[in-house]
């Protein structure tokens, strides 16, 4: 798993690394919140905010990344058509 992450980093696949990081953080904190909720429900629910924030942050990064790519590809295509 670590070798695959290093390969993604070397290939400059930042978005994929970011998605994996947010997903891993969400799953681990969700599991921790579940275990804590067995002992103390209020504490488990308060820790459950962490995966929610990680999920929202991951979605916002994916949307922002898509918008930036859309704008850049639009500019590149416009420049290509202007040169023709």
| pLDDT value of position 35 | 92
Average pLDDT of the chain, as a whole number: 82
Domain membership of residue 16 as a residue range? 2-83
| pLDDT value of position 1 | 67
CA angle at 77 for the pair 14 and 12, rounded to the nearest 5°? 15
Q: Is the dihedral of CA 40, 41, 42, 43 positive or negative?
A: positive
Q: How far apart are CA 34 and CA 2, in angstroms?
A: 26
pLDDT lower than 70: segments of the chain: 1, 5, 8-9, 84
The CA distances from residue 79 to 54, 65, 71, 75, 84, in Å, are 37, 21, 12, 6, 9
């Amino acid at each position: 798993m670590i070798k695959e992450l290093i390969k993604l980093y070397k290939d400059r696949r930042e978005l994929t690394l970011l998605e994996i990081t947010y997903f891993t953080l969400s799953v681990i904190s969700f599991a921790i919140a579940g275990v804590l909720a067995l002992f103390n429900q209020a504490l488990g629910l308060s820790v459950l905010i962490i995966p929610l924030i990680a999920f929202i942050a991951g979605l916002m990064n994916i949307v922002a990344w898509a918008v930036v790519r859309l704008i850049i590809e639009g500019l590149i295509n416009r420049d290509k058509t202007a040169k023709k």
